[in-house]
Structures are given as structure tokens and as C-alpha cells.
A and B are shown apart, each in its own frame.
Chain A
């Protein structure tokens, strides 16, 4: 089976940089995804890493180390609107089908 671990909460101030870690255990690995969910909203896809290294998209970057079964989401120049829950996810292949397994989520609180 698959399991993913993330910190439950992270607090940071506006303008700062924050890193949200995710460690995973999988029986077969394809890649690591990140989703953002604002309170009362829907999960929104942020990024996907299939290979080792850092992928940058604006203020957000995502990193993967396959050998360490570890990844992180890096948020720079934090803004109040970044306050949300962040989920890492991996694909689980059960039989002939794929499904996403989500981590328990990290609640990011950005303070002024």
C-alpha cells in the first residue's frame, strides 16, 4: 500500500519562504503531485514531479528525491492568499487502474 506523511501545520509570515515536506512509501512510484485547497474550496493542482530535482513555477517550486522517497513544496514571497491546506499525492496502481492517494495535508497559516 501507499502512505504519505506531511506536517499537520506550518506557520509563516508574509514575504517569507516556507517549505512543506512530504515523505512517502509506495509499492511502485510514478511521481509526486501537490494540490492546494483553500478553506471551503476545492483542491487545485499545483505541480507534478516525476524526476529528481526542482521544478519552478512562479513563486512555487516542488522538489523530488526518489532515492529518499521525499519531496517538498517551496513557497516564496508568501502572501496572505497562500494560507490554505497543501496536499502531496502519489499514484497507486491497483490492478489495471490508477488512483491518487493523498497525504493528510498541511495547513499553512500566513501571518501579517
Chain B
């Protein structure tokens, strides 16, 4: 029944490590997104993929590398983690012509120590 799922839900790691977050949607949507929500709850888009093709890259440090093996999956790999990367990362999906109506995953709370 889960529409958009993410793993893991919590991630605690040391500075300098590399980690990945996985996202899957079973809604049949063409477009998937990664958002970062900081401690002040500001929700900002990082990346967007349409049918496996990167269409939005919001000046995110190149330590962040998204990958979409197919249109139902979007993963996020982060290299050399920094303290400032601590946040909640949300995956979302929508139909390509329904950007305003997005379905979000449960989020991954990343804590960098």
C-alpha cells in the first residue's frame, strides 16, 4: 500500500563518511524529487528526475549525487558528510504535469556527528 517509501528512516554517522538513502514509489509517477528540510522546517528542493533523467539540480554541492535506475526509484548518495548536512531528507513524486501535487515519502533524518 505504501506510495512513496524511503530507507533508512534514521541515519546517524560520523563526519567524513559516505552514506546513501533509497526511495521507491509505486504510484506510476514519472517525476521524482529530493528535498532537504532543515531544523527551521524550511523545505527546499535539491534534485528532480523525470523518467530517469535529471531535470533539476539546485546548486547542491557535488558531494550529493542522485541516481535513478528506473522511474520508480531515486537514490541519493552523499560523500564526505559534513555537520551541515544534518537534516531531514524527503523523497517525493508526481506526474510530470502535476508538479503542484506531490506525494512525499516518510523522510530520512540524517544526523552527522
Contact = CB atoms under 8 A, between A and B. Distances in A.
Given A43-B43, A100-B45, A102-B43, A91 B90 contact: no
Interface string B38-50: 0011111100101
Contacts, number: 56
Contacts of B33: 99
Interface residues of A, number: 25
B83 interface: no
Given A87-B43, A105-B41, 19 more contacts: A33-B100, A42-B104, A42-B107, A43-B92, A44-B104, A45-B101, A85-B41, A89-B100, A91-B99, A91-B100, A96-B55, A97-B48, A99-B33, A99-B48, A99-B58, A100-B100, A102-B43, A104-B41, A107-B41
